[in-house]
Every structure is written in C-alpha cells, then in structure tokens.
Amino acid sequence: MSVAEAMPAPTRELVLTAQDLSVTFDTPDGAVHAVKGVSLDVAAGECLGIVGESGSGKSQLFLSIMGLLASNGAAAGKAQFKGADILNLSPQALNAYRGQKMTMIFQDPLTSLTPHMKIGRQLIEVLTIHQELTRGEAERRALEMLEKVRIPLAARRMNQYPHELSGGMRQRVMIAMSLLCDPDLLIADEPTTALDVTVQAQILDLLRELKDDLGTAIVLITHDMGVVAGICDRINVMQHGTFVETGTTDEIFYRPQHDYTKMLLAAMPRIDEPAKAGPDIAPPDTVDTDGPPLLTAQDVKVHFPIRTGGLLFGQYTPLRAVDGVSFSLQRGETLGIVGESGCGKSTLARAVLQLVTLSGGSVVWAGADLAAKSKPQIRDLREEFQIVFQYPLASLDPRMTIGESIAQPLRRFKPELEPEAIKAEVRGMMVKVGLEPRWINRYPHEFSGGQNQRVGIARAMILKPKMIVCDEAVSALDVSIQAQILKLLLDLQKEFGLSMLFISHDLSVVRQISHRVMVLFLGRIVELADRDQIYDDPRHPYTQTLISAVPIPDPVKERAKVRLKLPGELPSPLDPQAGLYFMPSKRVDLPDPPPASFEPYQPRLEEVTPGHFVAEHDPYTPPQT
Amino acid sequence: MFGYILRRLLIAIPTLFVIITVAFFMMRAAPGGPFDGERKLPPEVEANIKAAYDLDKPLIVQYGKYLGGVIQGDFGPSFKQKDFTVTELIGQGFPVSLRLGLSSLLFALAVGITLGSFAALNQNRPADYTVMSVAMVGITIPAFVTAPILTLFLGVYWGLLPVAGWNDGALRNMILPVFTLALPQIAVISRLVRGSMIEVLRSNYVRTARAKGLPEFRVVSQHAFKAGLLPLVSYLAPATAAVTTGSVVIERIFDLPGIGDYFVSGALNRDYTLVMGVVILYSALIIVLNLVADVAYSFLDPRVRAGQ
Amino acid sequence: MIFPWNRRTATLMEEAADVEGRSLWDDAMRRLRANKLAMGSLYTLGAIIILALFAPLISPHAFDKVSFICGQILAPPTMAGFHPFGTDGAGRDLFVRTLYGARISLAVGLIATSVALTIGILYGAIAGYIGGVVDNVMMRIVDVLYAVPFMFFVIILMVVFGRNFVLLFLAIGAVEWLTMARIVRGQTLSIRKKEFIEAAEAAGLGRLQIIARHVIPNVIGPVIVYVTLTIPAVILAESFLSFLGLGIQEPLTSWGVLIAEGKDELETAPWMLIFPAIFMAVTLFCFNFIGDGLRDALDPKDR
C-alpha cells in the first residue's frame, strides 16, 4: 500500500492519477504486455521516481499517458489529469494538455530535437500554438526561459541548430521547451542517462529547483537508484510491467520490503562505500608487486587528423585523442581508467592492444617493445591480451553460433587441436562463465545482453590470456546483471592471476573493482593513485568535481552532499592548448590557425605522496553549487 | 560552401571530358563509316567528302578539332542530314525534349510526393496498400506498354486525345506523353517518399513535436516533411537520367520531334556527330543537376552544411 | 574418484542434448514462408520458367516458322491448331514465340545480373574494406558514372559493334553494377565498424580471414535482395532496347521485340501486345515481390 493511500492528506493536490493502466503491443510474435494494470498518483510540488530496469515498461507507461505510443501499442484503464480523463483521447483533444499543462523530456536530447529547425523556432512555436502570443512576445519568453535554465549566450543559441550544441545544452533546451507554458507536470524519461556525470549533476540540480521554486510536479523515470535518491519524494519500483513496491524515498531506501527492491539496492555500486557490495566484489589480493611490470605505456599518443576547412585540399588539425599517457600494469593487477566522454579512454585501450596506430610513444609488453614487432608478430602475441567490449550483441558476429565465436581464438592459436577437443574446451569455458554448455549451437540474438556479455568474456578468456581490457564492459547492462558480470571477472582474475585494464565512465564501478585508478581528461592523465587514495583524497580539481558529481544511492547522504563545479566552458578538443584548461597561467595567445610547429606547455605529473600522481595545475578551488 | 561548389565543379569538368573522349573513340572504332551508303561512291568523291568532314586527318587531330569545337558549343556537321549542323538539330529538338522531360518530372514529383506521404501517414492501412500496389504497377509495366494501350483507348476508341504529334506543344498533345513518361517515376518517387517519411515519423524528434502538443498537421508539415523529402534531392539526378532515357521511347511512340528521337534515328543510321552531340548534352545536363542536388542538399540539412 | 566440481560439470555437459539454435537465416526463411505474396510470386515464377523451358519443346509449332497447321496470319487465339495466343503478322505461333521471348529475357536477366554482381561485389568490397582515400576515389568514380546516361552508351555500343547477343548481356550488366557496388560498399563499411570485426582482429585473425569469415557472410543478405530486384530492371532494359530495334534481332525474339511488333498491330490484333506484355509484367511483379519479401524477411524491423 502506498503512503499516499494510507494518509490521504487533504493538502495533496493531485495532478496526475492512473488506475489499472495497462499497455499492450501487437507484435508479429504475439501480444506483448508491457504494462500490466498499474495505479499511481502525483501531486503538485512532488517528485515521483519510477525506477526499473530495461524492459520493465516504465517508459511505455508514460508514453501511453502522453498519447505517444507506437502505432502497434494500445492502452487500457484510466488516467486523469486534474480530474479529467486523458487516456486514449484524440490527438486534438490531448493537445489541450500536452506541451502546456503536461510536458515530457526524453533520454537522447540530440535525436529528440528537430535537426533542421533552429532552437529558437522550436521554442517559439510552443508559445504561438498554445498561448497565441505574438512572435515578438514569444521570442522574448523563449529567451527568458533559456536564461532560466542557465544556457550561456542564450540569444546566440536561438539562432543555432541542435547539432551545434553539446549534449548537456541540448537537454537544457529540452527542459526550457517543456517549461515554456508553466506546466503542472513534467515527465522526465531518463533525462540524464546519455549525459556525462558532471552534466548529469547540473541537470538534476535544475530539476530540483523547478520542483521547489515553481511547484511543478515531476515524474522522474530512471534505472539509476542514485539519481532518484537526492530529488524524489516518493518512489515506485517497477518490474515486468507492475509496481512491485511503492513508498516514500526513505522507506524504499532504508526499509525496502520487496526482494526486487532489495536486490536493486544491493547491486547498485556505491562510490562512498565500495565494501557494501560484499567481499565477492572487491579487488582480490593478486597483485605481483615485486616482479617486472607486465605492461608499460610510455608517453602514448594517438592523434586523428580532423578536416577543419580549406578550399580544395583541406586543412587538417590533429585531434589529440590520447596525448602523452604513461602508466604500468603489474601481473594480477586491475587498473581502472575513468573519464567522461571524449577523454580518450577507449582510444587508449585500443592503442595498448595495437588496434589503432600510435602517433607517438611506446607500449612495452612483457619487456618487449611492440613498436619493434611486425604485424604478424603482433597478431601472434594477441594470445596474451584480449578485450571485452561495451555492447555485447554488437561484439558477436550475428551469423556465428556462440560456440564458434568462443572457439575462434582457439582455432587461430591452437590449430593442432581436434574439433572434439575444441568443443570440450569451449563447453568447459561456458560452464566457467555461467552459460549452459548445451547452448553451444545457439546464436547471439537468442540471448539477453548479460548472457551475450558472458559469451564475450568466454571468448576473451578461452586462451587464458595474461591481460584483458574491459572497455565499458558492464556499462550497457542492467545493475543486477552488472554485479554478476563483475563477480565473474573477479573470479576469473583470482583463478588465473589475470591483469585487467578496466575502462569505464562509472566511477562507482571502477572503485569496486580496481587496485589503482587513473583519471583521464582530454587525452591526458590528471590523477593516478591507489583506489582508496584517489577517492578519499582527490587532489586534482577535475577528480574532485567528478567524484562530487556521482549520485549516491542514499537519500540522506545525497541531499547533504556538496557538489563542485568546473570553471567555465569546456575547451574544444581541437584547441592545441586544451590540455591547459586547469592551468590557464601557461596559455599563450595564438594566431588562428595556430602554427603547426606550436607545442603547448605540457603539465607534468607530480608524485604528491608515494604512488599518488597529480597533474600540475593552477591553484583552484571549484565553486560549490 | 564556396569551396565545396568549386571542388565539385573541378570534378565535373574532367568527367565531361572523359565522357566526350570515350564517346568519340567508340564511334570512330566502329567498323564501316557513315558514308558506306547503298552504292559505292567514286574514290575521288569519297576523298572529297572525307576531307570536308576531316575524316582524312589522323584520329588525334580529328579529336582535337572536335574537342575544340565542343568547347565553343559547336558539335560539327551532321553526317547524315547534310545541310544541318548538329548544333542546329539539337537547337530544334531540345526545346521539345526539355519541355516534355521537365513537365513529366514536375508532374511525377507532385504526384509521387503526395501519394508517398499519404501512404506513409496511413501506414499498413488500405490506403497505403492501394498506393503501393499502384506504384508496383508503375514500376513493372514499362512505358512502351502503357503508351500504346492508353493511346488505343483514349486516342483511337474514345477519341479523347490525339494519338501522336507535337502540334507545337499543345496541352492536348502533351497529356499522354507526359503521363506515360512520368508513371514509372511516380512509382519510384512515391515508394522513396513513403519509406523515408515512415522513418521520420518514427523518429524521436517527431515524438517530441507531438509531446509539445502541436497539431498533427504542423507536426507533419514543419517537423517531418523536410527531413522526409531529403532523399528525393539525391534522387533528382538519377530521375533525370531515367526521364531522358525514357523520353527516347516516348518521343518515338508519339512521334515527337525531340532529340531522343534524333538520337535513335542517328544511332540507327550511324550519324556519329549527332549521336555524340546528344550524349554530351545529356551528360552535361545530368552532371549539372547532380551538382545542384548536392548543393541543395547541404542547404536543406544543417548537419551536412556544418560537415563541409 | 570424481571430485564434486568435476561431477557437476560432467552432469551439466551430459545432461541434455545440445539445443539447436535458430540462425538468422532460419528466421528469415520462416518469415519469408509466412509472406503469401512472396511465396505466391515464387511459385508463379517457377511456373513461368518451367513453361519457358519445356513448352516450346512440346508445342507442335516452331518459333521462327509459319505455322503449318493453320497458316493464317494474325489469327486470334484459338485452340484449333493449338494457337492459344493466336499468330503474328508472319503467321507464326505467338504462344511459342512468347515463351521463346521469355527464355531470352530471363537469360538476359540472369547473365547481366551476374555480370553486375561480380563487378559490383568486387568493387564495393574493395572500396569498403580498404576505406580512406581509396574508398573516396572509388566512390567518387561511381558517383560520376551515376551521372552518365548509360542507356545511351549501351545504344552506341550496340550500334558500333553490331547487335551482338553476348555484348548486350555484358553492356547491360556493366550499367547495373553501380548500385550493386554502392550497396556492397555501404554494407562492408558498416560491418567493418562493428565491434565483432574488432573482436576478430583482437583474436589475431588476419585481414583475409576476417573478410572471408565475417564480412562476406554478413553482406550476402542485402546483396541477395538487390539481385532479385536487379533481374527485373535488366529485363526491362533489354526489352527497352529491343523495342527500339537496337536489341535482339529476328529471327530470335524477346518480350521487347514482341511488344514492339504488337504495338503496330494493336488495332487489328491486340493479342499480339497483350500476351507478351502480361507475361513480362507478371514476371517483373514476381521478382519485385520476392525481392521486397526477402528484404522484409532479412531485416524485419524495417516493416
């Protein structure tokens, strides 16, 4: 029973209610019941969190209320907006509510804005349609709203197209658009999932202000327990199309009743308490500290030429994806590599594995410089280092059985094995990664994401490599699956003394699994230290900001947390002096285009305490928000 | 943007040059000359004729002279129609072909876009199936079948429209040729528009536009239509190629004095200069249209514009 | 003595027979079989091919001789003397001629498409796989060729080198390869960017092994779809040329030739146009429906 039903407080002015609402999709494989008769209510000034994993039906529930279901979907039941029935109204009748009294923002702000219309026009049309304002008035209101959601240079943005804005800016535009008519209800469907963690923090702040200052009711749909902790008043937990548990935020977090809620909370990685996940998920004691490093990267650089103009032959500017990164990895050690999108972490991984060509520096594997080896020699070495990818389905050939995919490295490196022996090894490895061996002849599309990721890990592990690189290996998975895959990786590490490069944008996961952590910013290391050192005592302003931005799935801590802010606008990665973002004192004025010979000052890494390296930066205290 | 157009032009010129060269040498490689007529000419007469047409000079000199002429818009004398230059013949025929082709293309665009969008907005409903069946007919039944059948009924049996002839481009004479020439293009365009509109209507930004509470008409006209029609711009040049090719048949069936008709008779009587003139003209036309289409595309899609 | 862990593994391994997976092909074929239009087209096309192959052998008439049974020119369809489609202006049996035309038209369709397929796949795969500048130049060339009114060049070829049967096949094939190359290149490019290619690279496979094991099997689907849609386009191109008198020559015949003859006798003997036209249209319909059906079957989300 929800709190709302238990205590019918007369002060709660209900904005949206739904009773026994269900959504069904008619597909070629039969009817799919996405939402199975749920009831909910939201009151003014309240934020309701809808938490569930992929496929729980959480988005479809609200798309049906907004009348935005795909053409093969049908909704049944009852939904009322301030007492008026709105479910299954004609678009025309629904437009009395949609876009003015009840608005919605979506996950992917780039594809959700019309690409061929200027931002200004997309805002203005809402006002001219719903409030019949004149163009001038509408323009003024739109500009005001852009400023209200803190878009810098708002007047200029009005004349820009969506692709000219960053992801965070686009989501602000979406929010501004949804606020133009002072709505009573804002539905936010995974509004921060596609964004970097620092941008996510800013967007969440914005939503919180909205609720507090304007009294707008907010529905926040998300898979992330951390996101709801700091902002929501009540939470409905959704699984397989029904609410398995509803309650106030504190009830859900501190006194969960349903097993699914408990599981979600337990599986959620905690940046503040990595030990909470239990002894199973912690870096094992496998590091060989005395021996020589297994892998050494020395001043690795990867630059991509980007066309930036020129009449006939084009003028190219190097994009410094990775710009002078050095580190070493011991046997049995896990090095976590974190950073936001565009920081070069995936490129660095591919450079280490020799999957992209280095523009400079060297990679030394078990004492041998890989640059000195020929391509066939490197191919022969691949037996010893393997990779696990982000998107499990994309990383498997759709036309191969999973058995063939797992066997592929074996066939390449042990051609002497009989087919029966290969099969036996594949089955053995399938058991180890938690797949039933009788599935050997099945295809990737018959499996879930988690199962396919197990196949990917089995393929990487079948040759018992000395190192595997996990490139966002758990980022595309639901939290419950994430925990299982992490445990699998740690078990394999214990069993084989494996070394790992664990690349992720998720600081909480990296903290759980890594021995040491390296923070990248625009292709350069800003901080490198043991995991507890870096999380408990971050020295670089970027690391500090990053850590403060990670939402903690604990309402009390999250509400009390102090967030830090980065100074100003982020530099373009094409700017040769982008690396001096935290060291403006060393910037020099450059002509445009900068001379090709120009080499900016390179901030050095300084060892502040043994094993704790921090990049040089100007003294800076990040402002708090 | 300027640099982009310049680059495209610099590609177009060598393309045209290659087309002229290939066409020239192919024609000259033909066994048997244009004057191998019914009766054998006396050797001195033949030599005179050959000298008049420069056929006695080395091939490379002929080529150079021809190229020089083409640059100045002179396609040389017709080999078969003795009193005319190719430029004059094209001057007579091209306006007819241009009018026919342009009318067909515009008609096909108007009807194709309407039908395609209509089908997309009614996806998987009877209206959609009807439009798509008609489109399939348009694709599978060629103009040289529809033209005679339509002529038979509308022209011969019912006497509504003239069976053939140009009559200075009178509307009554235009209806049948334009319709039969446009029919296959209507089919292709409506399928193209339907496919891309369906994709756009399913896109996230159309969902946003609906969530904004815009009237359905505005959603379609302002947010979906422009993106849905973008693929058509790239289809412009292939469509022109198809229409010019189709006009060859149409001009023959309806006995219209266009250059398509000249081309076929030229090809059948080995009137090399005439055939080459037509090929060069059409190639140039299509290359220019390709360029226009690309530039238009980049104006319509701000993302492409930024990419350049 | 068996350790518990081993026993567990052993039972897991022997417990049940392997589950047979459904490959993408199995799924596609199941969807195709459920598509009535495509299956109907497949059977109709089969019937036309069988008729074209065997009917002229069984019929009492020859395709190029005046019928010795009735000897009448422009006879309307009649079962007397077995002229189900009537006779033409020279008194030849139209039924046999239509089916002879079918042989030629189908042969052109198949051979010219194979030519297009060979050139297109090689060109497209090379451009797509090598990428970079090579790709840029190669695709620029295709763009440029797209702009050429190719039918005119085929006509010049036919005029210059005489109306040669084989040349006709080659010439049409050489026109149709452009789209094939574009499709193959686009597919190769998108597959090359997929993570499973990188995974194969990381597994130590060489370039050729990757092309053979991963790229080609994944390109085949769209190529098959395009092939079924190219055949009707080629049949149309041939009939277009034959209609103008620039393709197949007497005494051989094709649908284009027959339709051109029929057009001239439309008022006196409409069956001369109608029967070849119906055969051609039905064949083209079938190929198009099969092609559309295959595309839906291979890529169901596009429906």
- In 10 A of CB A338, how many CB atoms? 26
Does B292 have pLDDT greater than 90? no
Q: pLDDT confidence of A64, banded at 50, 70, 90?
A: very high
Q: pLDDT digits over A564-581, tens only? A: 887 666 777 777 788 888
Q: Is B278 in contact with C152 (Cβ distance < 8 A)?
A: yes
Does A153 have pLDDT greater than 80? yes
Give the C-alpha separation, A18 to A41, whole Å.
Answer: 6
As given in the structure block, the two tokens for residue A203 are 């967007």
In the complex, which subunits touch B with 3 or more CB pairs below 8 angstroms? A, C
Bridge partners of B40, per DSSP, are none
Q: Rounded mean pLDDT of A616-620?
A: 84
CB proximity B133 to C under 8 Å: no
User: What pLDDT does residue B207 have?
Assistant: 93
Give the C-alpha separation, B187 to B192, whole Å.
Answer: 9
| DSSP H or E stretch at residue B60 | helix B59-71
For tokens 């445009």, the residue is A592
Q: Is A97 in contact with B213 (Cβ distance < 8 A)?
A: yes
Instruction: Report residue A191 CA to chain centroid gap.
Output: 12
Q: pLDDT confidence of A138, banded at 50, 70, 90?
A: very high
Give the C-alpha separation, C205 to A183, whole Å.
Answer: 57
What DSSP state is assigned to residue A204?
Answer: H
Q: Rounded mean pLDDT of A127-131?
A: 91
Alpha carbon distances (Å) from A15 to A58, A82, B162, C80: 19, 5, 70, 84
User: What pLDDT does residue B114 have?
Assistant: 94
User: Mean pLDDT across chain A, nearest whole number?
Assistant: 88
Q: Rounded mean pLDDT of A599-619?
A: 88
Alpha carbon distances (Å) from C150 to B19, B242, C230: 11, 10, 16
Alpha carbon distances (Å) from A202 to A5, A171, B55, B249: 33, 11, 80, 66
Give the C-alpha separation, B266 to C96, whole Å.
Answer: 34
User: What pLDDT does residue A310 have?
Assistant: 57
The pairing of strands A612-615 and A524-530 is antiparallel
Q: How far is A433 from chain C (nearest CA, A)?
A: 12
Does C302 have pLDDT greater than 60? no
| DSSP H or E stretch at residue B24 | helix B2-28
In chain A, residues with a C-beta closer than 8 Å to the C-beta of B213 are: 94-100, 126, 129-130
Q: Rounded mean pLDDT of B202-231?
A: 91
| DSSP H or E stretch at residue A533 | helix A531-536
Q: pLDDT digits over B48-81, tens only? A: 777 766 777 778 888 888 888 888 878 877 777 7
In chain B, residues with a C-beta closer than 8 Å to the C-beta of C288 are: 136, 139-140
Does C20 have pLDDT greater than 80? no
As given in the structure block, the two tokens for residue C224 are 């098959």
**What are the residue ranges of helices labelled H in A255-374?**
259-267, 345-352
User: Mean pLDDT across chain B, nearest whole number?
Assistant: 82
Tell which residue, A462, A350, A321, A483, has the closest CA to residue A404. Answer: A462
Higher confidence at residue B139 or residue A349?
A349
In chain A, residues with a C-beta closer than 8 Å to the C-beta of C35 are: none
Does A140 have pLDDT greater than 90? yes
CB proximity A68 to B under 8 Å: yes
As given in the structure block, the two tokens for residue A211 are 């609720």
Q: pLDDT digits over C260-297, tens only? A: 888 888 778 788 888 888 889 899 989 988 988 888 88
Q: Is C273 in contact with B139 (Cβ distance < 8 A)?
A: no
Name which of B10, B204, B212 is nearest A99 (Cβ-Cβ). B212
Q: pLDDT digits over B107-149, tens only? A: 999 999 999 999 999 888 898 889 888 888 888 888 888 888 8
Does A284 have pLDDT greater than 50? yes
Instruction: Report residue B289 CA to chain centroid gap.
Output: 10
- In 10 A of CB A230, how many CB atoms? 23
SS3 B41: coil
Does A260 have pLDDT greater than 90? yes
Q: pLDDT digits over A589-604, tens only? A: 877 667 777 778 888 8
What DSSP state is assigned to residue C93?
Answer: B
Alpha carbon distances (Å) from A257 to A5, A234, A558: 17, 15, 22
Does B199 have pLDDT greater than 60? yes
SS3 B42: coil
Residues in chain C: 303
Does B3 have pLDDT greater than 60? yes
User: What pLDDT does residue A470 have?
Assistant: 94
User: What pLDDT does residue A289 have?
Assistant: 84
User: What pLDDT does residue B78 have?
Assistant: 79
Q: Which residue in A has a C-alpha nearest to residue B226's C-alpha?
A: A116
Q: Rounded mean pLDDT of B92-111?
A: 92
Does A1 have pLDDT greater than 50? no
User: What pLDDT does residue B307 have?
Assistant: 46
Q: What angle do CA C89, C92, C98 make, to 5 degrees?
A: 100
Give the C-alpha separation, A380 to A383, whole Å.
Answer: 7
pTM of the model: 0.82
Higher confidence at residue C167 or residue A41?
A41
Name which of C140, C256, C270 is nearest B11 (Cβ-Cβ). C140
Give the list of residues 6+ apart from residue A550 with CB closer than 8 angstroms, or none: A197, A226, A271, A507, A508
CB proximity A504 to B under 8 Å: no
Q: What share of chain B is helix, strand, coil (3-state, %, to 5)?
A: 80, 0, 20
Q: How far is B109 from chain A (nearest CA, A)?
A: 22
User: What pLDDT does residue C2 have?
Assistant: 35
Does A8 have pLDDT greater than 70? no
% chain A with pLDDT above 70: 95
Name which of A99, A108, A164 is nearest B213 (Cβ-Cβ). A99
Higher confidence at residue B169 or residue A323?
A323
Q: pLDDT confidence of C167, banded at 50, 70, 90?
A: confident
Name which of A355, A401, A440 is nearest C201 (Cβ-Cβ). A355
Q: Which residue in A has a C-alpha nearest to residue B121's C-alpha?
A: A71
Does A352 have pLDDT greater than 80? yes
Give the C-alpha separation, B144 to C264, whole Å.
Answer: 12
Q: Is A95 in contact with B227 (Cβ distance < 8 A)?
A: no
**What are the residue ranges of helices labelled H in A158-247?**
167-179, 197-214, 225-229
Q: Scan residues 188-227 of C and list those with Cβ closer than 8 Å to B.
A: none
Q: Is A66 in contact with B211 (Cβ distance < 8 A)?
A: yes
% chain C with pLDDT above 70: 84
For tokens 């024609």, the residue is B27
Q: Is B140 in contact with C260 (Cβ distance < 8 A)?
A: no
Tell which residue, C237, C276, C243, C236, has the closest CA to residue C63. Answer: C276
Q: Between B272-300 and B2-28, two packed helices, what is the crossing angle to 10 degrees?
A: 160
Q: Between C150-161 and B225-253, two packed helices, what is the crossing angle to 10 degrees?
A: 30
DSSP string, C15-50: SSPPPBPPPHHHHHHHHHHH-HHHHHHHHHHHHHHH
Name which of C21, C196, C213 is nearest A446 (Cβ-Cβ). C21
Q: Is A91 in contact with B216 (Cβ distance < 8 A)?
A: yes
Name which of B140, B278, B279 is nearest C281 (Cβ-Cβ). B140
The pairing of strands A234-239 and A315-329 is unpaired
Q: pLDDT digits over B261-287, tens only? A: 888 888 777 777 888 888 888 888 888
Q: pLDDT digits over B223-274, tens only? A: 999 888 888 887 887 788 888 888 888 988 888 888 888 888 887 777 778 8
Lowest mean pLDDT of A177-186, A484-493, A528-537, C118-127, name the range: C118-127
DSSP string, C247-277: SS-TTS--HHHHHHHHHHTTTT-THHHHHHH
Give the C-alpha separation, C150 to C146, whole Å.
Answer: 8
| Own/partner long-range contacts of A413-420 (Cβ < 8 Å, ≥24 apart) | A413/A383, A413/A463, A413/C204
Q: pLDDT digits over C84-133, tens only? A: 777 776 677 788 888 888 888 888 888 888 888 888 888 888 888 777 78
Q: Which residue in C has a C-alpha nearest to residue B28's C-alpha?
A: C160
Q: How far is B293 from chain A (nearest CA, A)?
A: 17
Q: Which residue in A has a C-alpha nearest to residue C217's C-alpha?
A: A399
Q: Rounded mean pLDDT of A472-486?
A: 86
- At CB < 8 Å, which residues of chain C contact A? 9, 12-13, 15-25, 194-196, 198-206, 213-214, 217-218, 300
CB proximity C164 to B under 8 Å: no
Give the C-alpha separation, B196 to B217, whole Å.
Answer: 18
CB proximity B135 to A under 8 Å: no
User: What pLDDT does residue B267 have?
Assistant: 78
User: What pLDDT does residue B1 have?
Assistant: 63
Q: How far is B3 from chain A (nearest CA, A)?
A: 4
Q: Is B279 in contact with C245 (Cβ distance < 8 A)?
A: no
Q: How far is C22 from chain A (nearest CA, A)?
A: 7
Instruction: Report residue B3 CA to chain centroid gap.
Output: 28
Q: How far is C8 from chain A (nearest CA, A)?
A: 10
Residue pairs between chains A and C whose CB atoms are closer than 8 Å: 95
Phi and psi at residue C191, in whole multiples of 5°? Answer: -70, -35
Q: pLDDT confidence of C65, banded at 50, 70, 90?
A: low
Residue pairs between chains B and C whose CB atoms are closer than 8 Å: 116
User: What pLDDT does residue C14 have?
Assistant: 47
Give the C-alpha separation, B212 to A143, whole Å.
Answer: 18
Q: What angle do CA C35, C36, C42 make, to 5 degrees?
A: 95
Interface with chain B: mutation pick from A114, A117, A122, A132, highest number of B CBs within 10 Å: A114
Does A333 have pLDDT greater than 90? yes
Q: Is C12 in contact with A437 (Cβ distance < 8 A)?
A: yes
Does B44 have pLDDT greater than 80? no
Give the C-alpha separation, C93 to C84, whole Å.
Answer: 9
